[in-house]
Amino acid sequence: MTNHESRFPGTSNDPATHQLTKRQAARVAAASGQPAEKLVGRTFAELDAGLRLVLDPHIFAFRRICGRVVKTDANGNELPVPFATVTVYDTDVNLLAWSPLGSQYSWFYPFGIRREVLATVTTDECGRWCVWIPRFDIDHYLRWRLERRCYLTWLRRPSIIDVLREQDVIPDPDPGPIHVDEHLLAHASRVLDAHAIDRLRPLARAARLGSPVADSSDALARPAFRERVAPPIAAAAAKALASGLGERLAKRVGRPHEALAKLDLSRFFGPFLKCRLVATPQWTTVLDIPDLTFEVTQDVNGDGTQEVIYSEGLFDVRWDAGSIGDVVLHASQIAITSPSCNVPDVGPCGEQAILFASNYPLQVPTDASEYHDANTGYALQPNRPDVDGIPGGARVEDAAAPFDGSFYLIGCAEKPEATHYRIHDELEGAVSYLNGSYGPLTKVVGGVLQQLLVSPVDGQWYPIVPRSAGWTPVGILAPFSGAGNHLHGFRLEFGQQVGATITAMPSDPLSLVNVHVDTTPPDVEVQALEWRHPDSSPTWSSLSVGNCPVVVRTTASRIQFKFRFRVSANHLRDFSVSASGCGAVAPTLASDGRDGLPILAADAAAHWHTDPDDNIHVRELYYELPAGAPAGCYHLNVFAASRAFAPTAVVGGAPADWYIDSAPIYINYNVAVSVQ
């Protein structure tokens, strides 16, 4: 969730004016002995006055549940959905559960839903919303699950960490904070899709001494399946269930045939993890499940009528969580989104200037900056060098970190008499102009959602969008997208439109703001891969690097590997080598000089750059596989990252603390060896 205040806060419900629904009245009646019909429509203040001596005081408390409405784009980015209406329902649902034999998952088919509106709230410009829910409702949802074996864990959307634990990628008992590395990712890729692995991979790159584990906890708590996954039921079986077998199935699960007559097998939820503690029938029903469900609407075409952009959710809230986290609702592709809500709040427009690359502060050339050098174009805080090259050591010198190739330029471009502006992009002596469109910017006027797509006139002149016009987000000047390793010089210039012509205004040009961009990944070259039995021969035998070469052991004694490689980059941040293998057995680094091998330096297998010119390394490492290691495939993985960082990140602190390690551009080079 973004960390800045809303310019246009969404609306929330008011606990003081909440009136009991019929379902809530029934719950309060069961606890108080009062007739339910006399409680419907009463406020909590009225209940407190009349039932204070009969009910636990906590029943009159409310708990706030917050979340976001987002739309996922083609690249997997979650874009905020502004100014949408979120309707919260108190729901009872009947489910037919199918748990295929041999699978660890279940799928649910709804066949009866009853619901009442609890509250209606709206999202802010960042898609954020909050709703107040009576504490006794939340207690009811949780208690209902706790009173039934396995329901608390079965009836919940599985998170990434749930799936990893279920599949024994992360062992039980709970080992505490999970440290994501390439070894874990290799095993996780067997049970998670590529999108989930991509979300976890930055955690492996950030794992260094003293780095916080909160980020990994948040990422592991995300849903394991971004989209619903179709159940593995054959078309013929589905057709049979829809006809004659449907009656037999109803008898099997103990329900009247009429109850399942309208069952729609194309409407499903899943997958969900089966219960480990007891056997799960292949077909069963789960009846009268209480839950909070959500429906989201938005005026997507500007006609004043809101269309449904999210519905049919199930178990969006994890009731087993100690503190209920953000509820993320993924809207359909018709939803209107903001270009980004992770942009800085630049406040009132003062002096005309380019101030930020997305969230990263840029140096105004006439002012000092601890963030950015406007001459070299480098950022000074992210990915700082180590003193001795050993990861985790002291880092006191300024960074020389280039920017990755995609960000917004943000600042102030309002000037008296000016109607347009353009941004020069000076590259290696040539001058062009930024010309990408951005938006839509949004605002609500008279209850109608309005949109503004900002496109440059004549491919270079952007119309000035004043802050006073009320569009959000504010301050975006132009999007930038670049490739390669280059120094870009950006300059802001103003123009005035007369008739159909826009003419540059005669004024002193603003100072050049340099930004160094590098999108090139590091390069890894394997120069040698050899092996030997050190207990029987000092001679090394060569192995081909590709196609998983085979090592045929002649004895059950130790095996040693010699691994020589070269790593280089235009802006190398760090590299590290990891080894993995069959189960708990993996090659270990032989750094102590055993068997006549050289003693390795402390940064031999993991090095963090020490200065801007520290960009090329050649290493010869030695690994040992113990005697009796099982036959199988063993891996050596070289990870290397560029110093380029993502200025789109959201950081905390005031002023912003950009002393972070960010590596969106990297390479993983894997070498596999089969040992027989």
Q: Which of 277-281, 296-300, 589-593 has the lowest mean pLDDT?
A: 277-281
Torsion of Cα atoms, 537 then 541 then 545 then 548, to 10° = -70
CA distances from 487 to 74, 280, 433, 515, 573 (A): 29, 61, 15, 6, 19
Is 667 within 8 Å of 639 (Cβ atoms)?
Answer: yes
Domains of the chain, residue spans:
15-158+268-330, 161-220, 353-518, 523-675
In this prediction, residue 1 has a pLDDT band, given cuts at 50, 70 and 90, of: very low
Determine the distance from the C-alpha atom of residue 528 to the mean position of all C-alpha atoms in its chain, rounded to a whole number: 38
Helix, strand, coil tally for the chain in percent (to 5): 15, 35, 50
Checking DSSP bridges between strand 501-504 and strand 485-498, what pairing results, if any?
A: antiparallel
Task: Summarize pLDDT for 45-99 with one digit per residue, the tens.
Answer: 888 777 777 777 777 889 999 999 999 888 778 899 999 999 999 999 999 999 9
Coil, helix or strand for 204? Answer: helix
**pLDDT tens-digit readout, 414-431:** 999 999 999 999 999 999
CA dihedral of 46, 50, 52, 54, whole degrees rounded to 10: -130
Per-residue pLDDT tens over the stretch 358-401: 999 999 888 899 999 999 999 999 999 999 999 888 888 999 99
Burial 8-43 (b: 16+ CB within 10 A, else e): bebebbebeebebbebbbebbbeebebebeebbebe
Predicted confidence at residue 185, as pLDDT, reads 77
Pairing of strands 572-580, 606-608: antiparallel
- Detail the DSSP E strand segments found in 174-306: 269-273, 283-298
- Give the residue-averaged pLDDT of 567-574: 98
pLDDT one-digit tens code per residue, 167-176: 766 655 555 5
Task: Give the model confidence (pLDDT) of 432-484 as tens digits.
Answer: 999 999 999 999 898 889 999 999 999 999 999 999 999 989 999 999 999 99
Residue 611 confidence class, pLDDT cut points 50, 70, 90:
very high
Residue 676: CB atoms within 10 A of its CB come to 8
Q: What is the pLDDT of residue 179?
A: 63
What integer pLDDT is reported at residue 623 of this predicted model? 98
What is the mean pLDDT of the segment spanning 330-355? Answer: 88
Query: Mind listing the pLDDT tens digit for each residue in 486-496?
Result: 999 999 999 99
> Are residues 326 and 64 in contact, defined by beta-carbon separation less than 8 angstroms?
no
Tell me: pLDDT of 2 over 50. no
Higher pLDDT, residue 203 or 389: 389
User: Is residue 198 pLDDT above 60, yes or no?
Assistant: yes
CA distance from start to end of the chain: 50
Q: What is the mean pLDDT of the chain?
A: 89
Angle between helices 22-32 and 44-51 in degrees, nearest 10: 10
Q: At what angle do helices 244-252 and 235-242 cross, to 10 degrees?
A: 80
Confidence band for 214, pLDDT divided at 50, 70 and 90: very low
Q: At which residue do the structure tokens 């006027």 appear?
A: 445
For CA atoms 551, 553, 558, 560, the dihedral sign is negative
Poorest-confidence range of 105-119, 125-139, 543-557?
A: 543-557
Residue 182 — pLDDT band, cuts 50, 70, 90?
low
CATH number of 523-675: 2.60.40
What pLDDT is recorded for position 178?
A: 63
pLDDT at 615 over 90: yes
Average pLDDT over residues 209-236: 72
Q: Is the dihedral of CA 24, 30, 34, 36 positive or negative?
A: positive
Sign of CA dihedral 670, 673, 674, 676: negative
d(CA 143, CA 184): 35
